[in-house]
Amino acid sequence: MTTKTVLPIKKRKPEIQAQKCSITRVSAPSPSPKPLNNANQKSKSILTEEFKVALHVMIYKAEGIDNPANYPSVNNRAYNVVYWLKPDEEASTKIAVGVNPEWNQDDMVVLENLDDEVFLNVEVQRFDSLLDPGTSSGKVVIGRVKIPVPMEFYRRKVGSFPLLRSDGNGNRLEGSILLAMRLQRIKGDSESTLQYYADDLFFEDDVVN
């Protein structure tokens, strides 16, 4: 009787090609991503060329902002988050109310130029603050942070990031914002047509404490 030796199959990691391209925005994807149908599958090199590279941002909540012990006069706690990669292309979340406001909102920002260093800029704003000194619009920035964008596929940066507050009392760390972000390859310009590069649906978390 002849014994056959079966060698293990070596998995190949898909090749990733960085694309250079300015930042434009597309609609946020649905919570359950839709990979490409098998009938539409092509070689990975062709898919990489056809798909755009985007930053998938998920903004969860803020904690420790406008501490009632330090800001007893703040009685209207309505907040949103403004974020951007380029200053002239800002985006924002819905308004959430509470001591620890929750947004649980995601978005896709297309990267048309993968530079060596790309940063996600985040600001938490409080609304209806007409009594605060120096505010005519009723909006006050109560914290901001600048976070380096993860430049590897299959990796997601997630964590609670401390906010820097600047006011008449100087600059200090106060409160934090919980968010996650990762690079993804996408195709389509709306939620109904959005498709994903299938391998990008599998990733590992880099947790920031």
- In a domain? residue 209: no
- In a domain? residue 193: yes
- Whether residue 155 contacts residue 204, with contact meaning beta carbons closer than 8 Å, is answered with yes
CA distance 56 to 88: 19
- In a domain? residue 96: yes
Query: Which amino acid is it at 136?
Result: S
Name the residue range of residue 112's domain.
24-203
Model confidence band, residue 159 (pLDDT cutoffs 50, 70, 90): very high
DSSP-based three-state secondary structure for 82: strand
pLDDT, average across residues 41-45: 34
- In a domain? residue 18: no
State how many domains the chain has. Answer: 1
DSSP class of residue 50 equals H
CATH of the domain at 194: 2.60.40.150
pLDDT at 175 over 60: yes
Q: What percentage of residues in the chain have a pLDDT greater than 70?
A: 62
pLDDT at 24 over 70: no
pLDDT digits (tens, 9 = 90+) for 146-155: 999 988 887 8
Of 124, 105, 122, the residue nearest 60 (C-alpha): 105
pLDDT digits (tens, 9 = 90+) for 48-96: 457 788 899 999 999 999 888 888 878 788 999 999 998 888 999 999 9
Could you write out the DSSP letters of every residue in 115-166?
Answer: -S--EEEEEEEE-S-TTSTT-SSS-EEEEEEEEEPP-STTEEEEEEEEEEEE
Which residues are within 8 A (CB) of 121 and not within 5 positions of it... i.e. 6 or more apart?
A: 83, 84, 85, 87, 144, 145, 146
pLDDT digits (tens, 9 = 90+) for 95-150: 999 889 999 999 988 887 776 678 999 999 998 765 555 555 678 899 999 999 98
- In a domain? residue 133: yes
**Of 121 and 37, more confident:** 121
Q: What tokens does 73 get?
A: 């006069």
pLDDT, average across residues 6-29: 45
166: β partners: 171
Angstrom CA distances, 116 to 20, 113, 148, 152, 159, stand at: 11, 10, 10, 12, 22
Q: What is the signed CA dihedral for 111, 113, 119, 125, rounded to 10 degrees? A: -50
- In a domain? residue 155: yes
pLDDT at 47 over 50: no
- In a domain? residue 7: no
Q: What tokens does 77 get?
A: 């706690």
- In a domain? residue 16: no
pLDDT at 25 over 90: no
Q: What tokens does 125 get?
A: 């704003």
